[in-house]
Amino acid sequence: MLKNKNIVLIGFMGVGKGSVAREVIKHSDYITIDTDDIIESMQNRKIKDIFAQDGEAYFRKLERNVAAWLESSVKNTLISTGGGFYKQENLKKIGTVVLLDSPFEKIIKRIKHHPNALKKLKKRPLLKDLKKAQELYDERRPEYLKVADIVIDVTKKSALECSKELLKKV
Ligand code: S3P
């Protein structure tokens, strides 16, 4: 059943937001959109090219535009977000914020074991340097926890199990 409110899925790169979102829509009436996909289609280019050509600050500006649009125009939707989207000032106004939580090592292991591992790493400019990515994770994790209405520990759970837990808790 829909709650007449969006669900905003946040969490670090590679934690499995997309996989959980796909399971949620299979088992509920929600539809899903992804903030990175919206930005890529608005710009008609890949995130990694936006970073390379115009820099991160420009990408963050695009995220703010998307956040304003989501708040004003989107309802009853599961919104999967890029790992830095949680910083939006209006995040809580967009919907119920659900954090997918996992230790950094498990996230890296998950990506490395994925059949498309190389592609997954290539498309994420901020994962290029693992030491820097770990620092970013350490900086963000407390902030993720602070902004989240609901936290789902994804370790030792399949995407399907996480999706069921999400639908029970929202
Ligand atoms: C980013 C995460 C990426 C993407 C961009 C920046 C971040 O999304 O938005 O590369 O700042 O953590 P995913 O979390 O889907 O990888």
Reported as a single tens digit per residue, the pLDDT across 98-109 is 999 999 999 999
- Residue 21 is assigned to a structural domain of this protein: yes
Question: Whole-model pTM?
Answer: 0.96
5 CA → ligand 1 middle, Å: 24
Number of other residues whose CB lies within 10 A of the CB of residue 77: 19
Residue 153, phi then psi, degrees to nearest 5 = -80, 115
129 in a labelled binding site: no
Q: How many residues does the chain have?
A: 170
140 in a labelled binding site: yes
Instruction: Output the residue whose Cα is nearest ligand 1's atom 15.
Output: 82
- Residue 105 is assigned to a structural domain of this protein: yes
Question: CA 100 → CA 3, 11, 153, distances in Å?
Answer: 20, 5, 6
- Residue 35 is assigned to a structural domain of this protein: yes
More confident residue, 116 or 22: 22
- Residue 108 is assigned to a structural domain of this protein: yes
Of 103-112, 114-123, 157-166, the range with the highest mean pLDDT is 157-166
Residue 103, phi then psi, degrees to nearest 5 = -65, 155
35 CA → ligand 1 middle, Å: 9
13 CA → ligand 1 middle, Å: 5
Is a pLDDT exceeding 70 seen at residue 112? yes
Average pLDDT, the chain: 95
- Residue 135 is assigned to a structural domain of this protein: yes
> Domain holding 54: CATH number?
3.40.50.300
Is a pLDDT exceeding 90 seen at residue 3? no
Residue whose tokens read 């350490």: 138
Is a pLDDT exceeding 70 seen at residue 165? yes
- Residue 1 is assigned to a structural domain of this protein: no
The pLDDT value recorded for residue 115 is 85
The rounded percent of the chain whose pLDDT value lies above 70 is: 99
**The total number of structural domains that make up the chain:** 1
Give me the domain span that covers residue 120: 6-165
Is a pLDDT exceeding 80 seen at residue 49? yes
- Residue 144 is assigned to a structural domain of this protein: yes
The pLDDT value recorded for residue 1 is 66
- Residue 170 is assigned to a structural domain of this protein: no
Most ligand 1 atoms within 8 A of CB, residue of 39, 51, 123, 124 to mutate: 124
Confidence of residue 57 (pLDDT cuts 50, 70, 90): very high
